[in-house]
Structure 1
Amino acid sequence: MAFGADELRVLRRALAAALGPAPLQDQDVQDCLRLTASLDEAVREADRLRAFLLADLTRYREALPGSLGGYLGLLREALAAGYDPGADDLAALRALRGNPAAAALLSRCQGLAERSVRARLARVTQATASASRAPRTRLLALPGGRAAGDGPRPAPPAPEERPVPKPSEVFPPRRRPVPPPPPEERAAG
């Protein structure tokens, strides 16, 4: 994303105002709001372009091997835009690895996919570790829970210990089906 000279002046004034205690003039506030709207529009446009590029990449991938040149070009463009190759991309490139350009792109995509998976695992591991290290909070009594004159409450009764059922008790044995009567008895009955 590139800024024009006017946008950079507005951005510089906004940063100066954010760092300094001086109040902003009305014109500066309006300029900042216009710059914010322009930035939001640029982000939306970038999202639309990315969605279009990924949809185009999917169409080219589904038309392989006839669309090899177009697919490889679009994949390079998507990778340059920050796209993480998916399992479909890796499978398509593996099928096309006889082509030197596809083989080179396959090794690049495998490295990117591996880095992406490692980063996701690191985030999950970090979140799990931070959750397990978090101190436990004490439970506090809520107001109105017990009146002051109630005194101590008796402990609840201990639960009955039941024996663990045997598998044959939980899953009774199957009964063998009764064989059908011979044909002579069926005709007579």
Structure 2
Amino acid sequence: MAFGVDELRVLRRALAVALHPVPLAEHDVQECLHLADSVDEAVREAGRLRAFLLADLARYRDALPGTATGYLERLQDALAAGYDPRPDDLAALRSLRGNPAAAAVLRRCQELAERSVRSRLAGRAVTVPAPAAPAGPRRARLLALPGGRAADEPKPKPKPQPKPPAPDERPVPKPSEVFPPRRKPVPPPGQWAVG
């Protein structure tokens, strides 16, 4: 995630207020709330993208051996993003053992799987650097920064927030839905040859 110049300015001001509490103008509070919403949306979008990519990987795996090249590309991208290979991936790669690229990816996946098993047996959790969708309920919203409002002002009642769509409510599109096949142009009816 990258922040723009304005977002960095808001973030810097919010951090300064958190370290040295002072009254904060309403405009500054609104900017902080807007930034928090933007970060929340980016996290949700990253989760949706990860779910789509993993579903895409599963579709290519299910269509093997005809999709070997596409599957290997998607699997390598997923591994680079911190994906932990599953038994289905190892079985699929073993079925492609005649392919030199698949054999190399199989060796890498076996090493990762072995490392994951050893970590679990040692009682440590495997850390995955890739971003994941939020698993539980949405994190609490930032309503006001500490010290950002005068103590004698009445606290406003929080407005009810619209419920965000759950990730399960949105179906993951198929590649053919995202990129429809190209159709050959049909000549206009006036150009048909009469025989």
For residues 50 and 11 of structure 2, the distance between their equivalents in structure 1, rounded to whole angstroms, comes to 26
Residues 122, 6 of structure 1: CA spacing in aligned structure 2 closer, same or farther, 3 A cutoff? farther
1:78 match: 78
SS in 2 for 1:3: coil
TM-score with structure 2 length normalisation? 0.60
Alpha-carbon distance, 1:15 to partner = 1.4
Task: Give the distance between the partners of 1:118 and 1:28, measured in 2 at CA.
Answer: 49
In structure 1, the partner of 2:25 is 25
Q: 1:14 to 1:88 in 2, by over 3 A?
A: same
Could you tell me which residue of structure 2 aligns to residue 39 of structure 1? 39
SS at match of 1:23: coil
The 5 A counterparts of 1:48-87 are 48-87=48-87
- CA separation in 2, counterparts of 1:45 and 1:52? 10
CA displacement at 1:38 relative to structure 2:
0.5
Structure 1 outlier segments of 4+, above 6 Å: none
Q: Which amino acid aligns with 2:88?
A: D
Report the Cα offset of residue 111 of structure 1: 1.8
Structure 2 CA distance for partners of 1:96 and 1:12, relative to 1, 3 Å: same
Structure 1 residues 13 and 121: alpha-carbon distance in aligned structure 2, compared to 1, 3 A threshold: farther
Where do residues 67-146 of structure 1 align in structure 2 (5 Å cutoff)?
A: 67-123=67-123
Give the structure with higher Rg (CA).
1
Tell me what 1:159 maps to: none
CA RMSD of aligned residues (A): 1.7
**Cα deviation, residue 117, structure 1:** 2.4
Letter in 2 for 1:65: P
CA deviation vs aligned residue, 1:116-143 (integer Å, no higher than 9, x gap): 2233333469xxxxxxxxxxxxxxxxxx
Deviation digits for residues 70-103 of structure 1 (CA, Å, limit 9, x no counterpart)? 0001111111222111010011112212211111
Count how many residue pairs are aligned between Structure 1 and Structure 2.
125
- The offset of 1:24, in angstroms, is 2.4
User: Could you tell which deviates more after superposition, 53-62 or 104-113?
Assistant: 104-113
TM value normalised by structure 1: 0.61
Separation (CA, whole Å) in 1 of partners of 2:112 and 2:30 = 43
Q: Which amino acid aligns with 1:45?
A: E
Unpaired runs of 5+ residues, structure 1, are 126-189
- SS of the residue corresponding to residue 122 of structure 2 reads helix
Aligned to 1:183: none
Separation of aligned partners in 2, 1:26 and 1:119: 49
Letter of the aligned partner of 2:51 in structure 1? A
Change (3 A) 1:32 1:123: farther
- Alpha-carbon distance in structure 2 between the residues aligned to 1:26 and 1:77: 44
Distance between the aligned counterparts of 1:111 and 1:20, measured in 2?
49
Partner Cα distance (1:124, 1:108) in 2? 21
| 1:13–1:115 CA distance, 2 compared to 1 (3 A) | farther
Could you tell me which residue of structure 2 aligns to residue 142 of structure 1? none
